[in-house]
């Protein structure tokens, strides 16, 4: 793409290098510096930074610069980003133009529960665990299960009730949730949630959909095993049985992990 700013910026240092050094080494090193740094900054760093600051995806920044430059030349290059931002804003507020926000915006097209459901249906718990790890930098595990995972399972249950999910797919969802829980358990102890540290757009969208008030979570009692009645003391004093379907079993697996985190061990059964 014809970015003439880099050429203009390099002209003066190159002229100074020629005037200051009787040899060619300073000129060569200065030219090499611009040839290496400018492409990296212009095609990697700037699209990422501009993309996060304007609501555009990095690909949209590069594509818009190419399109508007081909259409209007240097003027189009200057106006590429603001014009594309206007299109994205129109897409967010005008229903018929929503495809513009999907194409150029940096926000995920699907809601966090829908993304979770899609990942479980595709049998891809590893990627879902990566997004959950990002989410847990800002919110608690209970919030993730309540606002993202359970709502995603509700979508799956609705499809199952309509008869569009086979038993094989239901089993795949249950197994994917089980693997997701195992992956999150392998993370060990987590630091307290910190605001404004999520970089992934999908995880950031999920975190923004959950209230930041942790007062309700702080009121959740933690049951110590030694305070339980003698007949309840044990590694897993509560047995959670899925009552209706494999989706219920997936929810029971998550409940078991949360109960263990609250110092109350639970075991699940696949008899339903």
132/213 same-domain check: yes
- Give the Cα-Cα-Cα angle 215, 250, 107 (nearest 5 degrees): 60
The model's pLDDT over 207-240, given as tens digits with 9 standing for 90+, comes to: 555 555 444 455 555 566 667 677 666 666 667 7
What is the pLDDT at residue 220? 57
Which DSSP category does 105 fall into?
B
Question: What rounded mean pLDDT belongs to the chain?
Answer: 77
Domain end position, chosen among 104, 136, 155: 104
* C-alpha torsion angle, residues 11, 14, 16, 17 (rounded to 10): 180
DSSP 225-253: GGGS-GGG-SS--EEEE--S-HHHHHHHH
Cα–Cα distance between 123 and 173 in angstroms, integer?
7
Task: Give residue 185's Cα distance to chain centre.
Answer: 19
194/70 same-domain check: no
26/130 same-domain check: no
Residue 175 — pLDDT band, cuts 50, 70, 90?
very high
180/96 same-domain check: no
- Could you tell me the residue range of the domain that residue 244 belongs to? 112-269
145/265 same-domain check: yes
Q: Which residues contact 151 (CB under 8 A, 6 or more apart)?
A: 112, 113, 116
Cα–Cα distance between 254 and 144 in angstroms, integer?
10
What is the pLDDT at residue 267? 52
The model's pLDDT over 45-92, given as tens digits with 9 standing for 90+, comes to: 777 766 666 677 888 888 888 898 899 988 888 888 888 888 888 888
């Amino acid at each position: 793409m014809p970015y003439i700013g880099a050429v203009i910026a390099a002209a003066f240092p190159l002229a100074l290098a020629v005037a200051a050094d009787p040899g060619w080494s300073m000129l060569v090193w200065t030219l090499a510096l611009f040839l290496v740094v400018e492409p990296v900054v212009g095609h990697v760093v700037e699209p990422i930074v501009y993309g996060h600051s304007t609501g555009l995806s990095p690909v949209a920044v590069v594509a818009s610069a190419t399109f508007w430059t081909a259409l209007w030349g240097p003027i189009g290059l200057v106006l590429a980003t603001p014009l594309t931002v206007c299109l994205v804003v129109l897409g967010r507020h005008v229903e018929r133009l929503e495809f513009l926000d999907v194409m150029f915006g940096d926000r995920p097209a699907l809601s966090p529960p829908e993304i979770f459901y899609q990942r479980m249906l595709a049998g891809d718990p590893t990627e879902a665990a990566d997004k959950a790890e990002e989410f847990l930098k800002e919110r608690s595990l209970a919030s993730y299960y309540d606002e993202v995972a359970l709502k995603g399972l509700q979508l799956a249950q609705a499809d199952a009730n309509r008869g569009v999910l086979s038993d094989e797919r239901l089993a795949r969802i249950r197994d994917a949730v089980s693997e997701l829980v195992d992956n999150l358990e392998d993370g060990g102890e987590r630091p307290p949630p910190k605001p404004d540290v999520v970089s992934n757009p999908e995880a950031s969208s999920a975190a923004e959909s959950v209230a930041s008030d942790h007062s309700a979570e702080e009121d959740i009692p933690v049951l110590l095993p030694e305070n339980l009645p003698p007949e309840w003391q044990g590694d897993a004093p509560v047995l959670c049985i899925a009552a209706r379907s494999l989706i219920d079993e997936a929810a029971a697996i998550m409940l078991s992990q949360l109960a263990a985190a609250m110092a109350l061990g639970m075991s699940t059964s696949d008899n339903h």
